């Protein structure tokens, strides 16, 4: 759910800032991109070096010149994210937010953002209960800011009361909840096939192909990032499991079919795997031996199941079934014929001819063919193709709902 989400984390100056380091780690583990803004006071508790190392992004604070050309401007910083999280949120920053002060980068960003804002307050229990803070919280709530915590317990100064910042995992859950409220594929189920298949000849040899799985894995990640409960059925690849997905690793086409059917029912299926059309009919249990003078063995082939066509004609057919067509010639004509033959709703056609660099490369130029016609997209990164395809799927499912 957090995979691919961009989170702007504002760290203000409280002792609880040490927990924000763990929060960054937890968010990154879930595939989120985390950018941090430190207030001057926060720098007394955590260093820009530790925050930058954990987030793997440049840390923004008042010491950086946001007007310099190489820097991202504060307005962009405020809006180029899916959510702004203030953790810890001190009484001081909450008061600034309620009043609309913009005296430093953190408060400027909070005033300039048009994204959802979630705050994790952390302060002494008397400050938390003070009429000023109570009024500020009320003001911010009515403006749409949401809150997680604070918890009741022992505070840094040894007193007991409400004011302790929520634990990082509770903050992660609150972020997921806030984001899922407007995730376009929340409550939808998706199946994605990706990568090649390996079809054994004997225990040591197999027939395979050059698919890297990059496009299919990126699609699974993009669907999950839009809130879909996504099952990725992955053939053997060198890629890490994309965050936010349930991944079923398979080798053969028959295993891929079984895993795909096992993930039904679903709202959408995207078959991006390069499934072997044929498999050795009788893979031996023992290694084929080279016998002097006998010549090469004949390998009888059997046809593999067509996973895309099976899903498209299944009693539990997903509402939207999307196939891929990799062709080296007559791309659009072959792809349109394939859409009809396989019974799917869309075909994403890509040219994998020599010199296109599509196989294994990071870029792709695709045409999306549906009942209405052909939409040709510019060449772009496979991640971007995935994001656009996921957005198109969200739109189609919203229309069909
Ligand atoms: O027939 P062709 O392999 O060109 O079709 C490509 C499309 O069909 C892709 O979406 C691919 O994932 C899917 N396919 C499949 N099972 C097969 C063969 C292809 O799902 N056995």
pTM given for the model: 0.69
CATH number of the domain where residue 260 is located: 3.40.50.10300
Q: What is the pLDDT of residues 50-59, one digit of tens each?
A: 999 999 999 9
Lowest-pLDDT range of 86-90, 183-187, 349-353, 366-370:
349-353
Burial classification of residue 151, based on how many CB atoms lie within 10 Å of its CB (0-12 exposed, 13-18 middle, 19 or more buried): middle
Residue 361 has pLDDT above 70, yes or no: yes
Q: Of 213, 279, 308, which is best to mutate to test ligand 1, by the most ligand atoms within 8 angstroms of its C-beta? A: 308
Among 182, 215, 238, the domain-final residue is 182
- Final residue in a domain of this structure, among 158, 182, 206: 182
Number of domains comprising the chain:
2
Q: How much is the mean pLDDT over the chain? A: 92
Q: Are 13 and 39 in contact (CB under 8 A)?
A: yes
Closest CA relative to residue 248, chosen from 189, 200, 193: 193
Q: What is the mean pLDDT of residues 155-161?
A: 81
Domain-located, residue 1? no
| Cβ 12 vs Cβ 93: under 8 Å | yes
Does residue 209 have an active-site annotation? Answer: yes
Atom of ligand 1 nearest to the CA of 347: 10
pLDDT band at 93 (very low <50, low <70, confident <90, very high): very high
Residue 135 domain-assigned? yes
- Residue at which a domain ends, from 147, 182, 217: 182
* DSSP string across 227-263: T-EEEEEE-S-SPPPPTTEEEEE--SHHHHHHHHHHT
Does residue 16 register a pLDDT over 90? yes
Q: At what angle do helices 91-99 and 131-142 cross, to 10 degrees?
A: 50
Predicted confidence (pLDDT) per residue in 175-223, tens digit:
998 888 778 898 899 999 999 999 999 999 999 998 999 999 999 999 9
Q: Separation of 127 CA from ligand 1 center, angstroms? A: 63
The structure tokens 């007559």 sit at 330
In short, whether 346's Cβ falls inside 6 Å of ligand 1 is no
Are 109 and 142 members of one domain?
Answer: yes
The confidence band for 400, taking pLDDT boundaries of 50, 70 and 90, is low
> For residue 115, with 0-12 CB atoms within 10 Å meaning exposed, 13-18 middle and 19 or more buried, which class applies?
middle
Residues 329 and 243 in one domain: yes
Question: Tell me: the pLDDT tens digits for 278-330?
Answer: 999 999 899 988 888 888 989 999 999 999 999 999 999 999 999 999 888 88
The verdict on the CB of residue 304 being under 6 Å from ligand 1 is: yes
C-beta of residue 371 within 8 angstroms of C-beta of residue 396? no
Residues 6 or more apart from 325 whose CB is under 8 A from it?
331, 334, 335, 338, 347, 348, 349, 350
What was the pLDDT predicted at 358?
Answer: 66
Do residues 203 and 156 both lie within one domain?
A: no
- Output the six-digit token pair for 293: 């003078």
Report how far residue 200's alpha carbon sits from residue 281's, in angstroms, rounded to the nearest whole number. 9
We report the CATH number of the domain holding residue 131 as 3.40.50.1950
Q: Is 253 in the pocket of ligand 1 (CB under 6 A)?
A: yes
φ/ψ of residue 96, rounded to 5:
-65, -45
195 and 148 belong to one structural domain: no
34 and 146 belong to one structural domain: yes
Residue where the block lists tokens 């376009």:
184
- The domain of 360 spans 189-400
Confidence grade of residue 160 (pLDDT, cut at 50, 70, 90): confident
Q: How are the residues of the chain apportioned to helix, strand and coil, as percentages rounded to the nearest 5?
A: 35, 25, 40
Question: CA distances (Å), 125 to each of 51, 76, 99, in order?
Answer: 27, 35, 22
Whether residue 217 is found in the same domain as residue 317: yes
* Cα separation of the two ends of the chain: 21
* Rounded-to-integer distance, Cα 8 and Cα 12, Å: 13
């Amino acid at each position: 759910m957090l995979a691919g989400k961009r989170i702007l984390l504002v760290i203000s100056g409280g002792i609880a800032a040490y927990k924000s380091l763990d929060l960054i780690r937890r968010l990154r583990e879930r595939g989120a991109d985390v950018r941090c803004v430190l207030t001057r006071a926060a720098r007394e508790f955590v260093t820009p070096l530790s925050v930058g190392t954990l987030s793997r992004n440049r840390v923004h604070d008042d010491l950086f010149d946001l007007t310099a050309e190489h820097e991202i401007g504060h307005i962009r910083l405020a809006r180029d994210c899916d959510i702004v999280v203030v953790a810890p949120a001190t009484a001081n920053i909450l008061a600034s937010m309620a009043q609309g002060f913009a005296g430093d980068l953190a408060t400027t960003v909070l005033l300039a953002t048009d994204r959802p804002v979630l705050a994790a307050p952390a302060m002494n229990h008397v400050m938390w209960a003070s009429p000023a803070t109570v009024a500020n919280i009320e003001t911010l709530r009515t403006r749409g800011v949401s809150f997680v915590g604070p918890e009741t317990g022992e505070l840094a100064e040894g007193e007991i009361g409400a004011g302790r910042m929520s634990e990082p995992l509770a903050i992660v859950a609150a972020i997921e909840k806030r984001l899922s409220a407007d995730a376009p594929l929340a409550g939808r189920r998706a199946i994605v096939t990706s990568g090649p298949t390996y079809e054994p000849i004997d225990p040591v040899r197999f027939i395979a192909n050059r698919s890297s799985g990059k496009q299919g894995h990126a699609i699974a990640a993009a669907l999950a990032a839009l809130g879909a409960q996504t099952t990725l059925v992955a053939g053997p690849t060198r890629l890490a499991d994309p965050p936010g997905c349930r991944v079923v690793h398979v080798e053969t086409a028959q295993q891929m079919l079984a895993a795909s059917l096992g993930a039904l029912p679903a709202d959408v299926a995207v078959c991006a795997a390069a499934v072997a059309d044929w498999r050795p009919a009788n893979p031996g249990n023992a290694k084929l031996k080279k016998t002097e003078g006998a010549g090469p063995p004949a390998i009888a082939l059997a046809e593999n199941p067509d996973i895309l066509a099976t899903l498209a004609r299944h009693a539990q057919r997903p509402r939207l079934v999307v196939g891929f067509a990799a062709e080296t010639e007559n791309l659009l004509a072959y792809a349109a014929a394939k859409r009809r033959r396989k019974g799917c709703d869309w075909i994403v056609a890509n040219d994998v001819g020599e010199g296109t660099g599509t196989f294994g490369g990071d870029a792709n130029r695709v045409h999306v063919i549906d009942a209405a016609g052909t939409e040709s997209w510019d060449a772009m990164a496979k991640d971007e193709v995935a994001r656009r395809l996921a957005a198109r799927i969200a739109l189609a499912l919203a229309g069909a709902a």
